Amino acid sequence: MIRCKWVPAKVNIHAWRMEMDKVPSAEALIRRNIGVHSTLCPTCNSEEETVDHMFDTCIIAANVWNGVRVWCKIPNIYAFYLKDLLSIFKDLDATEKKKEAVQGIILIRCWSLWRARNNAKFSNTPIRIENILSEIKALGFFMVFL
C-alpha cells in the first residue's frame, strides 16, 4: 500500500483511494452507473475526467508537477499514468530519505489537486496553480530537510 509516515492522515487516505480506484472522478461515477452532469474535467474543461487525467495529464496537474519538480530538484520525468507518477520516486538517483520525501510530496500534490478540483467543481473557486503549490510547500516543507 502506498503511504508515507511524514504526511497528514488525510493525504494517506487519499493515496489509498487512488490506489484502490476509489476516487470519484466523472469517469469512475459513470462506470458505477451514477449519473453526472458533465464528464469534463472541472479544472481545465477540455478533456474527460479520469484519475490519470486529473492527477497526471491535465494541464493544471502538469503545471503543478513542474512547480513541484523544480522545488524538489527532481529531473524532468514525465509519467503517462498515475501509477507511474506514484512510483517515480523509486527511480530517483537519491538517498532513501530524499526518495521518501519525494513520495510524500507527490502524495500531497495529488491531495491538493483533488481539493482544488472539488473547490472548483462545488464552490466555483477558480484554480490557481500558485495557491496549490503554496499548499504543497506548506504541507511538505519539513520533508525537504529529511
Position among 11, 41, 106, 133 found at the interface with Zn ion (CB under 5 A): 41
Q: If binding is defined by CB under 5 A, does position 113 make contact with Zn ion?
A: no
* Candidate ranges 16-24, 30-38, 51-59, 131-139; the one touching Zn ion (CB under 5 A): 51-59
Is the Cβ of residue 49 or residue 98 nearer to Zn ion in the bound state? 49
Q: Classify each residue of 14-32 as buried b or exposed e, where b means 16 or more C-beta atoms within 10 Å of its C-beta.
A: bbebbeeeebebbbbeeee
Q: If binding is defined by CB under 5 A, does position 44 make contact with Zn ion?
A: yes
DSSP 3-state assignment of 21?
coil
The total number of residues shown for the chain amounts to: 146
Binding site for Zn ion (CB under 5 A): 41, 43-44, 58
